């Protein structure tokens, strides 16, 4: 709000917010991780990939022991789990191309927060639930568990070393983090805990502008994230299948709609098995989104019965089987929009904090297919295209998305691992097809299917629909919460609207037009849930 009120555009606001989250939301945010952004600035639609990469010394069997058995913890905790961070370069590049305010002004709020911010109940409870992970690393515990426990709610948290990193980042750009003594400190922390990353890996990391995935559905124009995220492909396939099977004609909230969603996702996630980094993918995006392929997949869908997942794509479970992300959406008064999702993967990533920098490092390496047949922490089984290889980007499910029709534009996305594309798609369908207000759309109960395991996940409170799904041949499991969607939009009449998912403590706010015009101190009029602005 502050950045928009002082004349910044949607990109300035998105980058400033992402950097602020890197300070106050260590469970997910994010200088030691990576992410994706889909933006529309003026007439330009663009997609930035700042996904982590595998270190140059990575190898295919690095998460197997000498006998070939998986070592699941190695890709989740400690130095070997860490992918080469993409965020320092990513935020800078996003601002360089599309920002309007000076870079220092965009980094300033994060510096101020690192000098001292108030501990919220969400932060304290996040730390409490991951105490055991953080306690395994002395530097992480020293910063985030002072005296062995999370800091008290309402107390002031100070991160002086992170503030110094951010001041250098403001003055010098990404090299302040990715080269010289700070890069050496980062690599030393990784290597001291079993990692293989080098200073050259960190220094040579580059974010990549990719052609955004553009498609039309239900009368709207959409832009999603292409590979190495599977999110845009899953959404485009799903919406294409739903158009073909007449989803919009079924009553809102009906079991028919849920069944058709589950059947579409079953097929889209089955194709995800073929996907990986753009250089290693086993299926071309154009083929997966071609009308002929969607027609064939749509024809397979039986409106009255679930298809077994193994018939959609054969797969045999392997011999053995053994989260945290944040999304933000910004639309500014000119209709520019940014949907940005960043992640450390699991909560607090690998648990490892670089002591000199007070930056937590990701465990994104677990998003690779780390062992044949082993599902990752989201239960996803993945194929050869996503095997570990030097420099490769691990396949993601993150789904930052823009949708527009005339002057209307929606920016949307979610955390939640494999549930990201399904949660985002359901909210988007409620908005684009049913015309639901954002706050209603983000709150509606959701379901999820990801091909394997062959089951529909349902949120609580849907007992009769669950019974109906079982009658159609689905296996049903209940989960308390599927994703956490955040969306903003400019409506046809130019007014602005924001919706934050009641499942989490995220917030939504609309800055009144008169404040956008004045250069005065921001005083945003909160939307319904914004009293919890953190
Ligand atoms: O890129 C991905 O798909 C995962 N690393 C995202 C992880 C995530 O969303 C955790 N969130 N709660």
Percentage of the chain beyond pLDDT 70 is 94
Give the residue among 257, 154, 312 at the shortest CA–CA distance from 468: 257
CA of 58 to the centre of ligand 1 (A): 21
Domain 213-309+398-504 has CATH 3.60.20.40: yes
349 CB near ligand 1 (under 6 Å) = no
Rounded to the nearest 5 percent, the helix, strand and coil shares of the chain are 40, 15, 45
CA of 383 to the centre of ligand 1 (A): 18
Atom of ligand 1 nearest to the CA of 394: 1
- DSSP code of residue 213: E
Q: In the numeric block, which tokens belong to residue 121?
A: 């109940």
Read off the pLDDT band of 138 (50, 70, 90).
very high
363 CB within 6 A, ligand 1: no
How confident is the model over 350-408, as pLDDT tens digits?
999 999 999 999 999 999 999 877 899 999 999 999 999 999 999 999 999 999 999 99
Q: How far is the CA of 300 from the centre of ligand 1 (A)?
A: 30
Has residue 245 got a pLDDT over 50? yes
- Distance between CA atoms of residues 285 and 15, nearest Å: 29
> Does any ligand 1 atom lie closer than 6 A to the CB of residue 342?
no
The reply to whether 399 belongs to the active site is no
CA of 312 to the centre of ligand 1 (A): 25
Ligand 1 pocket: which of 35, 343, 382 to mutate (most atoms within 8 A of CB): 343
pTM above 0.75, yes or no: yes
Residues 6+ apart with CB under 8 A from 245: 260, 263, 264, 298, 301, 303
For ligand 1, the distance from its centroid to the CA atom of residue 28, given in whole angstroms, is 9
- Give tens-digit pLDDT for 215-224: 999 999 999 9
* Strands of 363-517, DSSP E: 401-405, 408-413, 447-448, 456-458, 476-478, 486-490, 496-500, 509-510
Parallel/antiparallel/unpaired status of strands 213-217 and 208-210:
unpaired
Q: Which residues contact 144 (CB under 8 A, 6 or more apart)?
A: 26, 127, 134, 150, 151, 348, 353
Query: Residue 318 has what pLDDT?
Result: 54
Distance (Å) from CA 342 to ligand 1 centroid: 8
Q: Is 325 in the pocket of ligand 1 (CB under 6 A)?
A: yes
The atom number, within ligand 1, closest to the CA of 230 reads 3
The tens digit of pLDDT for each residue in 325-342 reads 889 999 998 999 999 999
> How many angstroms separate the CA atoms of 70 and 316, rounded?
17
pLDDT of residue 133: 98
505 lines ligand 1 (CB under 6 A): no
User: Closest Cα to atom 5, ligand 1: which residue?
Assistant: 345
Residue nearest (by alpha carbon) to ligand 1 atom 10: 324
Q: How confident is the model at residue 525 (pLDDT cuts 50, 70, 90)?
A: very low
Within the chain, all domains assigned CATH 3.60.20.40 are found at 213-309+398-504
pLDDT tier at 460 (50, 70, 90 boundaries)? confident
Candidates 285, 325, 343, 425; catalytic one: 325
For residue 97, give both structure tokens.
């191309």
> Is the beta carbon of 323 within 6 A of some atom in ligand 1?
yes
Give the per-residue pLDDT at 30. 87
Quick check: CB of 398 below 6 Å from ligand 1?
Answer: yes
């Amino acid at each position: 709000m502050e950045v928009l009120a002082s004349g910044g555009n949607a990109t300035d606001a998105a980058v400033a917010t992402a950097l602020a989250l890197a300070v106050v939301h260590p469970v997910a945010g994010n200088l030691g991780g990576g992410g994706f952004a889909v933006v529309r600035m003026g007439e330009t639609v663009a997609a930035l990939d700042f996904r982590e990469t595998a270190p140059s010394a990575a190898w295919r069997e690095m998460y197997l022991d000498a006998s070939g058995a998986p070592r699941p913890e190695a890709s989740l905790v400690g130095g070997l789990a860490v992918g080469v961070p993409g965020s320092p370069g990513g935020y800078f590049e996003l601002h360089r191309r599309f920002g309007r305010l000076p870079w220092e002004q965009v980094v300033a709020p994060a510096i101020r927060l690192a000098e001292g911010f108030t501990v919220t109940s969400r932060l304290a409870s996040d730390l409490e639930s991951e105490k055991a992970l953080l306690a395994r690393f002395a530097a992480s515990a020293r910063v985030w568990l002072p005296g062995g426990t999370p800091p008290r709610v309402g107390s002031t948290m100070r991160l002086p070393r992170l503030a110094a990193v951010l001041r250098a980042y403001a003055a010098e750009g990404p090299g302040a983090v990715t080269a010289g003594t700070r890069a050496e400190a980062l690599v030393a922390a990784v290597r001291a805990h079993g990692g293989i990353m080098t200073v050259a890996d960190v220094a040579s990391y580059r974010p990549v502008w990719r052609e955004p995935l553009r498609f039309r559905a239900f009368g709207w124009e959409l832009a999603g994230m292409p590979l190495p995220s599977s999110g845009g492909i899953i959404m485009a396939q799903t919406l294409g299948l739903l158009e073909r099977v007449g989803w919009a004609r079924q009553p809102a909230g009906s079991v028919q709609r849920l069944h058709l969603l589950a059947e579409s996702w079953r097929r889209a996630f089955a194709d995800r098995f073929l996907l990986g980094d753009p250089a290693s993918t086993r299926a071309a995006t154009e083929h997966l989104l071609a009308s002929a392929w969607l027609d064939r997949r749509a024809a397979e869908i039986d409106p009255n019965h679930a298809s077994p997942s193994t018939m959609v794509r054969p797969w045999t479970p392997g011999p053995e089987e053994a989260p945290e992300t944040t999304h933000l959406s910004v639309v500014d008064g000119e209709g520019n929009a940014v949907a940005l999702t960043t992640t450390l993967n699991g909560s607090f990533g690998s648990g490892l904090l670089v002591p000199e920098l007070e930056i937590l490092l990701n465990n994104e390496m677990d998003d690779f297919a780390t062992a044949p047949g082993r599902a990752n922490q989201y239960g996803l089984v993945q194929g050869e295209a996503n095997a570990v290889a030097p420099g490769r980007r691990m396949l993601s499910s993150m789904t930052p998305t823009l949708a527009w029709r005339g002057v209307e534009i929606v920016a949307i996305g979610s955390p939640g691992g494999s549930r990201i594309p399904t949660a985002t798609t359901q909210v988007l369908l409620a908005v684009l097809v049913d015309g639901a207000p954002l706050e209603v759309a983000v709150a509606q109960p959701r379901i999820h299917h990801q091909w394997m395991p062959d089951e529909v996940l349902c949120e609580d409170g849907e007992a009769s629909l669950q019974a109906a799904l079982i009658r159609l041949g689905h296996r049903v499991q209940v989960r308390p919460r599927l994703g956490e969607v955040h969306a903003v939009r400019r409506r046809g009449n130019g007014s602005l609207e924001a919706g934050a998912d009641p499942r989490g403590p995220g917030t939504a706010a609309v800055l009144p037009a008169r404040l956008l015009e004045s250069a005065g101190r921001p005083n945003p009029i909160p939307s319904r849930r914004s009293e919890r602005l953190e």
